[in-house]
C-alpha cells in the first residue's frame, strides 16, 4: 500500500466516511486506486523545469508566456491573429498527458471567445511533440517536432 492510500484511509476513518477505495464522483474504485497509485507530486525542481519549457516554447514561436492560472501557457500571433499553446512537460513515468475536463472546457471557451485556434505542445526530455487542439493524449498520437523548440515555428507554419 502506498503512502497516499494510507493517508486517505486515515482521513476517511477519522471523518467516519468508510473506505476511500469506494467510487468517488461516479468513478470506479479501480480507476480511483489507479490514480492514487500513479500520482506523482510536483516538486520545486519539476515546477522550475515546466516553467522553463513554457519559456522555451514561447521563444520558439516568438510568443509570450502567460502567468499561472491563465487558460493558455503561451500566446503567439499567426497571420495577425492571436493563438494559444498549452505546454505539458513529461518528467517521469508514462508517455501520456492528462487534461482534466474542466481545464479543457475553459481552454475551449477561451478559444471560442477569442475566435482563435489552440495547440498542445508536450516536452519529454529534449523531444518536442505537437498536436492541434487540447485534450488527454499519448505522445504516440502527437507529431514529433523536428528541430525541437525552434522547429515549432515551422510546424505551426509561422
For residue 145, pLDDT beyond 90: yes
Q: How confident is the model at residue 77 (pLDDT cuts 50, 70, 90)?
A: very high
Cell 515549432, located at residue: 152
Radius of gyration of the chain from its Cα atoms, rounded to whole angstroms: 18
Q: Which of 104, 103, 134, 99 is nearest to 118 (CA)?
A: 134
pLDDT at 142 over 80: yes
- Tell me, what's the pLDDT at 13? 57
**Helices marked H in 43-127:** 44-60, 101-113
What's the predicted TM-score (pTM) here?
A: 0.76
Three-point CA angle 55, 38, 42, nearest 5°: 35
C-alpha cell at 148: 525541437
**44-155: what CATH class?**
alpha beta
Amino acid at each position: 500500500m502506498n503512502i497516499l492510500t494510507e493517508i486517505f484511509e486515515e482521513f476517511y476513518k477519522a471523518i467516519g466516511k468508510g473506505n476511500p477505495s469506494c467510487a468517488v464522483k461516479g468513478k470506479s474504485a479501480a480507476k480511483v486506486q489507479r490514480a492514487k497509485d500513479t500520482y506523482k507530486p510536483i516538486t520545486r525542481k519539476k515546477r522550475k523545469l515546466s516553467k522553463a519549457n513554457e519559456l522555451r516554447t514561447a521563444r520558439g514561436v516568438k510568443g509570450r508566456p502567460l502567468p499561472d492560472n491563465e487558460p493558455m501557457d503561451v500566446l503567439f500571433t499567426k497571420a495577425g491573429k492571436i493563438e494559444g499553446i498549452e505546454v505539458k512537460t513529461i518528467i517521469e513515468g508514462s508517455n501520456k498527458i492528462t487534461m482534466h475536463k474542466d481545464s479543457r472546457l475553459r481552454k475551449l471557451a477561451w478559444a471560442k471567445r477569442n475566435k482563435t485556434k489552440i495547440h498542445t505542445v508536450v516536452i519529454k526530455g529534449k523531444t518536442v511533440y505537437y498536436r492541434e487542439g487540447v485534450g488527454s493524449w499519448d505522445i504516440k498520437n502527437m507529431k514529433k517536432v523536428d528541430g525541437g523548440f525552434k522547429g515549432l515555428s515551422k510546424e505551426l507554419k509561422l
